[in-house]
Structure 1
C-alpha cells in the first residue's frame, strides 16, 4: 500500500490533491482500498483503461517522435523509439491503425552527421550543468575557443543552436552545432542563476523582439 504522502512525493503534487483524486476515482467506480493515514491500493483484478487519444493527438505524437529520431542526437532518438513502442502498445486497435498509417515523415539526409554527436554532448551537459570547452568557427571560418555554460538547445529549421553563457563574453551566446569543431568537458560545473538561465534568455528575446541567433553575434 502507498500512503498519500508517498504518492504526493512521487507525483510532485500536494497530499490534498492525492486525497481529492482518490475520492474522485472511488466515486467513479475504481476499486481503491484504504484510508487516510494508512495507505491506498488498487484491488487485484482491476485494470485502468488505456489512454484515450484522438486521431489528431496520435498523429501529432507520431510526427513529434519521428522529428526527434531524425534531428536530435542518438541518445534521445533511441528514447523516442522506445516511447513509440510504448505508445503503440497502449493504443486501441483503431488508433494504432491511425499511427501506423501516419504519412508525416522526417527523412534523414545525413547533412550534418557530426551534429548528432554534439547534440548528445550538449544535451547531457545541460542536464548535469557541465562547463564545456568549445572550438567554434563563425560564418567566415574564423576559429575561437570558449568555455560555455550550456543552458538550452533550440531547433531553427535545419540548424540546431546551443544557447549558453559564454565565460569569455560574460553574456549569452548562441552557437550553431554544425559549426562546432570540437566539444570537450572541462571537468568544472556551474550553478544556474536567475540571470543566467534559459528562462531569462527567452525573456530577453521577447522583450527585444529578437531571434535567438540575432540578439548577439553567434559565438
Structure 2
C-alpha cells in the first residue's frame, strides 16, 4: 500500500475508532508494525493534524487536516443522523458501510459541542429486522446507472415466467419492503419497474446509453407523477 493511502486510512481509523485509540489497535487495522505507526502519526502531525496522545496512552484526533470545518444547526444534525441511520438499515452492505463512514467523516469536521449532539441525538433509527442482502449485487446496478451502461438481466415476472432483458437502468428505488430498479426495457420498448428480488442474474453489457439517463429518468418520473392520482406506482412486469 502506498504511504499516502496508508496515511489516509490512518486518519479514517483515528476518526472512527473509539478514542483514545491505542497504537496497537491502529497498527492492526493498517496491518503495519507499531514502529511504522509511530512514524505515520509523526508525519500527520507535521502535516498539521492535531493528534493528542502518545505510545501507551492512545491517540485522539483534535483537529482533522483532511476535512474542512462544517457547521450545522441542531435540527440539521438530527436530520443527518436519522437519514444516514436509515440508510444503514435499508441499504445493502456496501451502502450501509458508506453511510457509517459518511457520518464519521461529517462528525469529525464538527466543533466539540456539535460532535456531542451527533453522539446524543434526540432522534435515532432502530429496526428489529434489517433488510436481508439481495442475491444480486446492487453495486453493479448502481455503477451501471452512474456509467449509463446497459444491463443484461434474467427476470422472473409475477406469473413466474423467466425472460432475458436488456435494460437501461435509471435509478434504484427503496420502497417500504422491497427494492426496485427503474429502467428502460429494450424488450418492451418502454419504461418498467423491476423488483430486485426477481432478478435472477445480471451482467454489464458493452452498450452505453450515455447521455440519455437524465432525460429518460425525467420522463419516467413525469409518468409516475401523472399516474399517482390513479393508483400510484404501477406494478412491476
Answer yes or no: same fold by TM over 0.5: yes
The equivalent position to 1:109 in structure 2, one of 120, 126, 129, is 129
Output the CA distance in 2 between the equivalents of 1:158 and 1:100.
Answer: 29
| Cα pair distance change 1:136/1:196, threshold 3 Å | farther
Paired residues in the alignment total: 170
Whether 1:180 aligns to 2:199 is yes
- Which of 131, 155, 163 aligns to 2:150? It is 131
Q: Which residue of 1 aligns with 2:236?
A: 218
> Is residue 2:161 matched to residue 1:120?
no
Structure 2 distance, partners of 1:195, 1:87, is: 29
The whole-number CA distance in structure 2 between the counterparts of 1:194 and 1:110 is: 31
Match for 1:150 among 169, 175, 184?
169
RMSD, matched Cα:
2.7
Q: Distance in 2 between matches of 1:212 and 1:192?
A: 28
Instruction: Tell me the TM-score normalized by structure 2.
Output: 0.63
Partner-residue secondary structure (3-state), 2:134: helix
Give the alignment's TM-score, normalised by structure 1: 0.67
Inter-CA distance 125–112: structure 2 relative to 1 (3 Å threshold): same
Could you tell me which runs of 5 or more consecutive residues in structure 1 were left unpaired when the two chains were aligned. Answer: 1-46
Q: Distance in 2 between matches of 1:144 and 1:55?
A: 50
1:60-209 correspondence to structure 2 within 5 Å:
60-102=79-121, 103-107=123-127, 109-114=129-134, 117-193=136-212, 197-209=216-228
